[in-house]
Every structure is written in structure tokens, then in C-alpha cells.
């Protein structure tokens, strides 16, 4: 320990001796080189093992960090490659989806047109049937009205032309026929 203290004092005083002289030159450079060699010797002699262990630990840590960085870089590269493959396939997938949706749209359109056509045909048939029924009903009503008017006109004509003597004769004929039918 005493040696270390002495060496330390000498090394600390060395810069003072170096500046006190004539101005420098080669002697100054040689003095600094000797000073550096002594300092390195002291460091290696007394702290060499610890410095070596520290440097080995630092080298081991740096090697480990480099390995980890390389693993992370490889993982990132693999992920990038995967994403690039997905992106390359994305255009084809989009085109495929568009084609599927277009086909579904065409099928849905055709289905709706078929349903609308069937519904239109059903409505048309129903309208025709309804029109026929209405025509039949109106024809029957018109026919009944024509018959009623014809009966009214005939009755009116008969009343105007029928005399009281004709009325008695018609009544007598009716009663005679009635008697004949009841006898049979």
C-alpha cells in the first residue's frame, strides 16, 4: 500500500516537473511517455485482474447484446417478409372478394327480377280474373235490367192495348187450363 501511495505522489507531481523546465521538446515527450508507461504498469499490476474481468464482462455483455439484436433483427425481417407476402396477396384477395360480391349481386338481382316477374304474372292473372268476374256480374246485372225494362215495356204495352173484354177472356182461359191440370 505504501508503494502505491508513493507511486501516486510521483505521478501526480510529474506534470509539475514537466512544465517547470525549458520549454519542451523531445525531453517533454519522453517524460510523458515514461509517465504513461508507469501509469499503465500500476494499473495493470494492481487492478489488472479486475480490469480484465470487467473488460471480459463488458465484452460478454456486448456479445450477448449483439446476439439479441441479431435475433430481433431476424424476427423483424421474418415479420417484414410475412407482411410483404400478405401485401402481395392482398391485391389478388381484393380482386377475388370483388368478384364474389359482384357474383352475389348479380345472383341477388336475378332472384329479385324473377320474384318480381312471378309477382307481376300473379297480379296480372288476378286482375284478369277479377275483371272477368266483374264483367260477368255487370253483364248479369245489365241483362236483368234489360229483362226488367222489357217486362215493364211489355206490361205497359199490354195494358194499353188490352181491353176489359180481353182481360175477361184471358182469365177464363187461365181458369179452364187450371181445371184441366187439376183433373189430370
Q: What is the extent of the structural domain holding 40? A: 1-48
141 and 85 share a domain?
A: yes
Do 88 and 139 belong together in one domain? yes
Same domain, 20 and 71: no
Task: Mark whether 13 and 70 lie in a shared domain.
Answer: no
Number of domains in the chain: 2
Looking at the structure, do residues 74 and 102 belong to the same domain, yes or no? yes
The predicted pLDDT at position 174 comes to 86
Would you give per-residue pLDDT tens digits along the chain (184 residues)? 555 555 555 555 555 554 555 556 888 999 999 999 998 888 878 887 887 888 889 999 999 999 999 999 999 999 999 888 888 878 888 889 999 999 999 999 999 999 999 999 999 999 999 999 999 999 999 999 999 998 988 888 887 888 888 888 888 888 898 888 888 6
pLDDT at 46: 83
pLDDT number for residue 100: 94
pLDDT of residue 167: 81
Cα–Cα distance for residue pair 179/173, rounded to 1 Å: 10
Instruction: Specify the pLDDT at position 11.
Output: 54
- 102 and 129 in a single domain? The answer is yes
* Alpha carbons 141 and 148: distance in angstroms, whole number: 10
Backbone angles phi, psi at 20, to 5 degrees: -75, -15
pLDDT at 13: 53
What's the confidence (pLDDT) of residue 113?
Answer: 94
Please give the grid coordinates belonging to residue 123: 297480379
- pTM of the entire predicted model: 0.36
Are 28 and 18 in contact, with CB atoms under 8 Å apart? yes
Residues 76 and 123 reside in one and the same domain? yes
Q: What is the pLDDT of residue 130?
A: 93
Regarding whether 44 and 6 lie in a shared domain, the answer is yes
Amino acid at each position: 500500500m505504501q508503494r502505491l501511495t508513493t507511486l501516486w505522489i510521483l505521478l501526480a507531481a510529474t506534470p509539475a516537473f514537466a512544465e517547470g523546465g525549458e520549454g519542451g521538446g523531445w525531453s517533454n515527450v519522453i517524460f510523458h511517455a515514461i509517465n504513461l508507461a508507469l501509469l499503465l504498469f500500476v494499473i495493470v499490476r494492481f487492478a489488472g485482474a479486475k480490469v480484465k474481468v470487467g473488460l471480459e464482462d463488458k465484452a460478454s455483455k456486448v456479445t450477448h447484446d449483439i446476439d439479441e439484436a441479431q435475433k430481433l433483427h431476424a424476427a423483424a425481417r421474418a415479420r417484414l417478409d410475412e407482411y410483404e407476402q400478405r401485401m402481395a396477396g392482398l391485391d389478388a384477395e381484393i380482386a377475388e372478394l370483388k368478384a364474389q360480391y359482384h357474383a352475389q349481386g348479380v345472383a341477388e338481382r336475378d332472384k329479385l327480377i324473377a320474384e318480381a316477374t312471378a309477382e307481376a304474372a300473379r297480379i296480372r292473372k288476378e286482375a284478369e280474373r277479377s275483371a272477368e268476374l266483374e264483367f260477368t256480374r255487370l253483364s248479369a246485372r245489365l241483362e236483368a235490367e234489360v229483362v226488367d225494362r222489357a217486362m215493364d215495356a211489355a206490361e205497359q204495352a199490354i195494358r194499353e192495348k188490352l181491353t176489359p173484354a180481353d182481360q175477361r177472356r184471358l182469365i177464363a182461359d187461365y181458369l179452364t187450363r187450371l181445371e184441366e191440370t187439376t183433373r189430370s
